[in-house]
C-alpha cells in the first residue's frame, strides 16, 4: 500500500509498478492536450482490450487531484473509468472518496475511487484489480495486467 506522498511524486519498483506522479500528471494535463489510454489484459481470457479517453485532466493537489475525464472509445466494454469523473484522488492516508469506509485501504491502492468499484487498476493483484464489463469475462472482470498511457493529442 502506498501513501499520498508516494503517489504525489511517483514511483517505480522491480515488479513493474510505475506511477508518473500526481503532481506531474496535473502539470502536464492542465498545460497540454493529452488523452489517456488503458491497455487491459483479462485474467480469464488473457485477451487484451483498450479504453481511450479524449479528455483527461488532473487538477492540482489543492483540489486533491480531482479527475476530469470524458470521451470514451475502445473495446473494453463498459466505460468503467469515466464513471469516476469528478472524483478526488484517495490513498489509505488521505481518504477523499465518497464511501463510508476508505476504498484505498480496502482495495490496496491509491486511485480516483467512486463507491470502490468499476475500475481498479492500482489495487491488489490478488483480489481487487479489475475493469467491470470486459467482454467475455466470467469472474467479475479481473485483470492480469493493466497499463495507463498518457498520449499527446
- The answer to whether the beta carbons of residues 61 and 26 sit under 8 Å apart is yes
Residues in a beta bridge with 34? 152
Q: What are phi and psi of 99, to 5 degrees?
A: -105, 155
CATH number at residue 29: 3.90.215.10
Q: Report the pLDDT value the prediction gives residue 139, as an integer from 0 to 100.
A: 62
Report CA-CA distances (Å) from 16 to 19, 99, 110: 10, 29, 16
Asked if residue 81 is part of any domain, the answer here is yes
Q: How many domains does the chain have?
A: 1
Q: Which residue range forms the structural domain that includes residue 13? A: 4-88+132-152
d(CA 38, CA 43): 15
The whole model's pTM is what?
A: 0.91
- pLDDT tens string 90-146: 999 999 987 778 888 888 889 999 888 788 888 765 566 889 888 876 666 888 889
- pLDDT tens string 6-39: 999 999 988 888 999 999 999 999 998 899 999 9
Amino acid at each position: 500500500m502506498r501513501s499520498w506522498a508516494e503517489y504525489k511524486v511517483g514511483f517505480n519498483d522491480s515488479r513493474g509498478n510505475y506511477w508518473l506522479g500526481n503532481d506531474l500528471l496535473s502539470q502536464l494535463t492542465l498545460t497540454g492536450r493529452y488523452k489517456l489510454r488503458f491497455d487491459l489484459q483479462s485474467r480469464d481470457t488473457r485477451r487484451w482490450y483498450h479504453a481511450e479517453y479524449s479528455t483527461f485532466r488532473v487538477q492540482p493537489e489543492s483540489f486533491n487531484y480531482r479527475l476530469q475525464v470524458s470521451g470514451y472509445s475502445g473495446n473494453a466494454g463498459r466505460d468503467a473509468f469515466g464513471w469516476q469523473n469528478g472524483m478526488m484522488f484517495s490513498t489509505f492516508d488521505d481518504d477523499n472518496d465518497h464511501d463510508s469506509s476508505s476504498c484505498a485501504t480496502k482495495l490496496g491502492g491509491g486511485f480516483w475511487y467512486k463507491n470502490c468499484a468499476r475500475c481498479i487498476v492500482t489495487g491488489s493483484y490478488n483480489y481487487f484489480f479489475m475493469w467491470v464489463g470486459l467482454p467475455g469475462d466470467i469472474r467479475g472482470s479481473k485483470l492480469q495486467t493493466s497499463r495507463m498511457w498518457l498520449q499527446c493529442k
